[in-house]
Amino acid sequence: MNGRKKVTVVGAGNVGATCAFSLARADYADVVLVDIIPNFPQGKALDMNQAGSILGFEPNVVGANGYEETAGSDVVVITAGKPRSPGMSRDDLVTTNEAIVGSVTKEIVKRSPRAVLVVVSNPLDAMCHVAKAVSRFPKERVVGMAGILDTARFAAFIAWETGMSVRDVQALVLGGHGDQMVPIVSATTVGGVPLAQLTTKRAIARMVERTRKGGGEIVNLLGTSAWYAPGEAAAQMVESICLDQKRVLPCTALLEGEYGIKGLYMGVPVKLGAAGVEEIVTLKLDAEERRMLRESAAAVREVVGVLKKK
């Protein structure tokens, strides 16, 4: 053993490859990139490794078409599944991706029974339920990537609207990863100044709406889902887990009564460390935000209801 962490990324498409390359550059883990397409993950891994001498990281990415190389992973990122195409809702993906994520999870847990699973596949909230049911892992070790991405989109729009640096934007988006996600305006600041003091209600409403439709906007422009921001968001979660950073990040976690929601994966602030979701942070919401979160939960339950294995 070389003392480095081991991270597997399943799915060498745009999101998976972006995440794997970000992890390689961070240089604290050996990375395994898995995909069913022959030679595809091997080629991407070789390309990434050759960038090591330019960017100053050790070439420790392995491409594989099977799961043998993944054994003993500390964290596994699941990006496998069909992406959205124009006109397709996240909900349309449920049946197809349930089978894919279920099969991947089964293969992973056989070889890495102590891993933390980071689910990225859509529809995100429902796929977390699939990974949890198939793995039978404790809820702390199955977590979804959505809130960081949605929050990053909101933050970009705020920076453009206010003309201020995105590095000073502190934003938070909760709820399901869909059109009923809940940007928490009351907790959003720029350099410590509440957003409501920096722009108009109308501008805030416009940014909230654009955030909710953020994924669809990119699908319509590109003809496929986003990948730079989602891949980096997943990598940020992996880093917090592998390095036990205990970052408080918006992630999709199984709620058992928090925020008045029970038995459902939803986006909430969590403390993310070596054990996975080490704490769900309960934020005081105003009445309107609570109402929107309940609506978002109802929308997620509807999608989860389509699953064969809950």
pLDDT tens, residue by residue, 194-228: 999 999 999 999 999 999 999 999 999 999 889 99
Residues 151 and 136 in one domain: no
Residues 292 and 191 in one domain: yes
The whole-angstrom separation of Cα 173 and Cα 251 is: 9
Read off the pLDDT band of 171 (50, 70, 90): very high
Domain holding 237: CATH number?
3.90.110.10
Read off the pLDDT band of 91 (50, 70, 90): low
pLDDT at 201: 97
Interhelix angle 201-212/147-162, nearest 10 degrees: 140
Q: What is the pTM of this model?
A: 0.96
The whole-angstrom separation of Cα 76 and Cα 198 is: 40
Residues 77 and 168 in one domain: no
Dihedral, 206, 209, 211, 215 alpha carbons, nearest 10? -130
Q: Among the three residues 97, 115, 144, which one is the final residue of a domain in this structure? A: 144
pLDDT at 260: 95
Q: Among the three residues 144, 163, 183, which one is the final residue of a domain in this structure? A: 144
Give pLDDT tens digits for 99-112. Answer: 999 999 999 999 99
Residues 98 and 35 in one domain: yes
Residues 124 and 188 in one domain: no
Residues 42 and 70 in one domain: yes
The answer on pLDDT for 3 being more than 90 is no
pLDDT at 93: 79
Residues 140 and 152 in one domain: no
- Position 310 in a domain: no
Determine the Cα angle at 97 with ends 210 and 149, to 5°.
30
Give pLDDT tens digits for 31-89. Answer: 999 999 999 999 999 999 999 999 999 999 999 999 999 999 999 999 999 876 667 66
The whole-angstrom separation of Cα 27 and Cα 34 is: 19
Task: Judge whether 188 and 199 are in contact, CB under 8 Å.
Answer: no
Number of domains in the chain: 2
Q: Among the three residues 144, 171, 203, which one is the final residue of a domain in this structure? A: 144
Domain holding 18: CATH number?
3.40.50.720
- Position 43 in a domain: yes
- Position 42 in a domain: yes
The answer on pLDDT for 1 being more than 70 is no
Rg (CA), the chain: 19
pLDDT at 83: 73
The whole-angstrom separation of Cα 155 and Cα 145 is: 17
Give pLDDT tens digits for 244-256. Answer: 999 999 999 999 9
The answer on pLDDT for 259 being more than 90 is yes
Show contacts of 201-208: CB within 8 Å, 24+ apart: 203/161, 207/154, 207/157, 207/158, 207/161, 207/183, 208/154, 208/183
Domain extent, residue 250, equals 147-304
Catalytic residue numbers read 177
- Position 309 in a domain: no
Task: Judge whether 119 and 128 are in contact, CB under 8 Å.
Answer: yes
Residues 43 and 177 in one domain: no
Residues 108 and 139 in one domain: yes
Task: Judge whether 89 and 270 are in contact, CB under 8 Å.
Answer: no
Alpha carbons within 13 A on the beta-carbon side of 196: 4
pLDDT at 308: 79
Residues 151 and 297 in one domain: yes
Average pLDDT in the chain: 95
Residues 296 and 174 in one domain: yes
* Percentage of the chain lying above the pLDDT 70 cut: 96
Residues 153 and 292 in one domain: yes
